[in-house]
Amino acid sequence: MQISLEEQFQQKIDQEIKIEPKDWMPEKYRHTLIRQISQHAHSEVVGMLPEGNWITRAPSLKRKAILLAKVQDEAGHGLYLYSAAETLGISRDEMYEQLHSGRAKYSSIFNYPTLNWADIGAIGWLVDGAAIMNQVPLCRTSFGPYARAMVRVCKEESFHQRQGFECLWVLSKGTEEQKKMCQDAINRWWWPCLMMFGPKDDESPNTMQNMQWKIKRFTNDALRQKFVDMIAEQIKLLGMKLPDPDLKWNEATAHYDYGKINWDEFWQVVQGNGPCNKERLAARKNAWDEGAWVREAATAHAEKNQIKISSMLHPNDINLGS
User: What residue ranges bind Fe ion (CB under 5 A)?
Assistant: 44, 74, 77, 128, 157, 160
Report the nearest approach of Fe ion to the CB of residue 69 (Å): 11
Which lies closer to Fe ion via its Cβ, residue 43 or residue 225? 43
DSSP string, 132-177: HHHHGGGGG-SBHHHHHHHHHHHHHHHHHHHHHHHHHHHHHTS-HH
Q: Is 162 exposed, middle or buried (0-12, 13-18, 19+ CB in 10 A)?
A: middle
Report the nearest approach of Fe ion to the CB of residue 40 (Å): 9
CB 86 within 8 A of CB 92: yes
Which lies closer to Fe ion via its Cβ, residue 125 or residue 256? 125
DSSP letter assigned to residue 250: E
Which lies closer to Fe ion via its Cβ, residue 129 or residue 244? 129
Report the nearest approach of Fe ion to the CB of residue 45 (Å): 10
Which lies closer to Fe ion via its Cβ, residue 29 or residue 197? 197
Report the nearest approach of Fe ion to the CB of residue 92 (Å): 18
Which residues have C-beta within 8 Å of that of residue 38, sequence separation ≥ 6? Answer: 81, 82, 85, 90, 95, 98, 99, 104
Report the nearest approach of Fe ion to the CB of residue 83 (Å): 15
CB 135 within 8 A of CB 157: yes
Dihedral sign of CA atoms 136, 138, 142, 147 in order: negative
CA–CA separation, 183 and 180 (whole Å): 5
Which lies closer to Fe ion via its Cβ, residue 44 or residue 86? 44
Which lies closer to Fe ion via its Cβ, residue 74 or residue 86? 74
Report the nearest approach of Fe ion to the CB of residue 43 (Å): 8
**Cα–Cα distance list, 53 to 50, 57, 95, 271 (Å):** 6, 8, 25, 24
